[in-house]
């Protein structure tokens, strides 16, 4: 059977053009292009706020074959700008599925393109860095190639861009939903726990669920929360979430808050991903843009304090420059792929963070113990009751 004419087009800023079959919403979008090597969890990846401003190339060829379900959404709607896949999505075949990927993307206004040589595209990203691209879907297959390339070249990029404020919650709320478990699904916390304030720079639901499952009563505050906002709740611990964009840009308002909280309180502080980078900035280090970042569920990380290697889930395009870590801040974890920083802690206080995602979703759960460590740190500092 002859293949139908292409209905989608991916234009790179260098003029390279990829044509394929469109699915999801129609229209055009511009973004940075990255690739993700995870074999599962495309729905969780698309709804991770850390992907705001990015189109995701999935290296695993079979995307869409398990459909979608509301239980797997990390946020209310996908934040990734679009998706690129090898094979056109097929009809879903999974007992948990409540719909198909095509309709889900269309409902949320996100564009997909299938039938591309994702290996070639991934090599280009690795060799040349994450490119700026324009993605278009038109059922009639009519594209203005010159205009698409111009839009890709005109994309502002992620450097210097604060996206956390755009994806964060607008007001505070309580969180008591715990991790999914058979056969009850997501249960609610019913007993009191340690009071934690979580700053939402783009928090995934499974991070909040992990905190609740570790014994925390979680109050979520917007990214722009001040130290007064945090301390007024009298928390026993502060959590700094994942999120998108340039940490130096978000740090203009986040870093003063973190520094002031540390000046006025000795509570445990735990950060993940963007939260890790913001904590490092608050302690005096610097962050830099990576060539193509780390995106996947198979990244080996070495814990230098235990000698163990954890297989982790990652999603970041910026990294902490370990050469700029000040005295009193210890590098605890590094990537075994490229040696980049993956964790820090203060030598004299219960303050630490990691670059990777210990909640996974998708990915291995080698690092879930970090949530339990956070809970233990709060317990150890709690005053004894008679």
CA 220 – CA 198 distance, rounded (Å) = 5
Residue 257 is assigned to a structural domain of this protein: yes
How confident is the model over 218-246, as a mean pLDDT?
98
The pTM is what?
0.96
The answer to whether 359 is a known catalytic residue is yes
Number of structural domains, the chain? 2
Identify the CA nearest to 199 among candidates 127, 276, 122. 276
Residue 108 has pLDDT above 70, yes or no: yes
Is 229 in the same domain as 296? yes
Domain boundary among 154, 187, 205: 154
CA 24 – CA 172 distance, rounded (Å) = 33
Residue 231 is assigned to a structural domain of this protein: yes
Domain boundary among 127, 154, 181: 154
Residue 3 is assigned to a structural domain of this protein: no
Is 105 in the same domain as 228? no
Is 190 in the same domain as 302? yes
pLDDT at 37: 97
Two structure tokens written together for 159: 């450097």
Task: Tell me the residue ranges of DSSP E strands in 213-308.
Answer: 216-222, 237-240, 269-272, 286-303
Q: What range defines the domain where residue 124 resides?
A: 8-154
Residue 385 is assigned to a structural domain of this protein: no
Catalytic residue among 30, 32, 310, 359: 359
Domain boundary among 154, 172, 191: 154
CB-based burial, 10-19: b 16+ in 10 Å, e otherwise? bbbbeebebb
Residue 59 is assigned to a structural domain of this protein: yes
Is 328 in the same domain as 261? yes
CA atoms within 13 A on the CB side of 210: 25
Is 121 in the same domain as 181? no
How confident is the model over 290-309, as a mean pLDDT?
97
pLDDT at 385: 43
Is 29 in the same domain as 99? yes
pLDDT at 190: 87
pLDDT at 325: 98
Residue 308 has pLDDT above 60, yes or no: yes
Instruction: Give the helix/strand (H/E) hosting 274.
Output: helix 274-283
Residue 384 is assigned to a structural domain of this protein: no
183 falls in which pLDDT band (50, 70, 90)?
confident
On average, the pLDDT of the chain sits at 96
The CATH number covering residue 311 comes to 3.40.50.880
Residues 6+ away with beta carbon under 8 Å from 123: none
SS3 373: helix
Residue 2 is assigned to a structural domain of this protein: no
How confident is the model over 43-72, as a mean pLDDT?
97
Residue 282 has pLDDT above 70, yes or no: yes
Cβ atoms 131, 32 nearer than 8 A: yes
What share of the chain has pLDDT > 70, as a percent?
Answer: 98
Is 220 in the same domain as 250? yes
How confident is the model over 90-101, as a mean pLDDT?
94
The answer to whether 34 is a known catalytic residue is no
Catalytic residue among 273, 295, 310, 342: 273
The CATH number covering residue 54 comes to 3.50.30.20
Length of the chain: 386
Is 263 in the same domain as 296? yes
The answer to whether 357 is a known catalytic residue is yes
How far CA 138 is from CA of 98, 107, 323, in Å, comes to: 27, 16, 48
Among all chains, which residue has been given the structure tokens 């991770």?
48
Is 222 in the same domain as 131? no
Residue 211 has pLDDT above 50, yes or no: yes
Strand partners, 352: 270, 345
pLDDT at 2: 58
How confident is the model over 156-161, as a mean pLDDT?
96
Is 120 in the same domain as 192? no
Lowest mean pLDDT among 111-115, 248-252, 361-365: 361-365
Catalytic residue among 276, 294, 299, 357: 357
Residue 1 has pLDDT above 90, yes or no: no
Residue 322 is assigned to a structural domain of this protein: yes
Is 144 in the same domain as 206? no
386 falls in which pLDDT band (50, 70, 90)?
very low
pLDDT at 384: 55
Is 369 in the same domain as 264? yes
């Amino acid at each position: 059977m002859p293949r139908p004419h292409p209905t989608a087009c991916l234009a790179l800023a260098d003029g390279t053009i990829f044509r394929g079959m469109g699915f999801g919403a129609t229209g055009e979008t511009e973004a940075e292009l990255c690739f993700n090597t995870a074999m599962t969890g495309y729905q969780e990846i698309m709804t991770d706020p850390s992907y705001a401003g990015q189109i995701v190339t999935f290296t695993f060829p079979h995307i869409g074959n398990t459909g979608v379900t509301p239980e797997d959404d990390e946020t209310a709607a996908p934040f990734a700008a679009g998706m690129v896949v090898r094979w056109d999505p097929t009809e879903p075949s999974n007992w948990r599925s409540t719909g198909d990927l095509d309709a889900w993307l269309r409902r949320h206004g996100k564009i997909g393109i299938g039938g591309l040589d994702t290996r070639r595209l991934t090599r280009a990203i690795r060799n040349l860095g994450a490119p700026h691209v324009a993605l278009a879907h038109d059922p009639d297959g009519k594209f203005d190639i010159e205009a698409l390339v111009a839009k890709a070249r005109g994309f502002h990029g992620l450097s210097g861009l604060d996206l956390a404020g755009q994806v964060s919650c607008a007001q505070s709320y309580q969180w008591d939903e715990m991790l999914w478990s058979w056969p009850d699904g997501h249960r609610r916390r019913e007993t009191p726990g340690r009071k934690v304030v979580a700053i939402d720079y783009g928090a995934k639901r499974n991070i909040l669920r992990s905190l609740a499952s570790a014994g925390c009563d979680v109050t979520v505050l917007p990214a722009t929360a001040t130290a007064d906002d945090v301390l007024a709740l009298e928390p026993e611990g502060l959590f700094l979430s994942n999120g998108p964009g340039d940490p130096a840009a978000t740090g203009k308002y986040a870093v003063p808050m973190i520094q002031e909280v540390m000046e006025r309180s000795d509570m445990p502080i735990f950060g993940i991903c963007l939260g890790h980078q913001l904590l490092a900035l608050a302690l005096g280090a610097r962050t830099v843009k990576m060539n193509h970042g780390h995106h996947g569920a198979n990244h080996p990380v070495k814990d230098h304090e235990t000698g163990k290697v954890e297989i982790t889930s990652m999603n970041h395009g910026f990294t902490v420059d370990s050469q700029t870590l000040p005295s009193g801040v210890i590098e605890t974890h590094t990537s075994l792929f490229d040696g980049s920083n993956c964790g820090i802690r203060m030598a004299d206080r219960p303050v630490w963070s990691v670059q990777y995602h210990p909640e996974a979703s998708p990915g291995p759960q080698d690092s879930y113990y970090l949530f339990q460590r956070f809970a233990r740190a709060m317990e150890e500092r709690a005053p004894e009751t008679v």
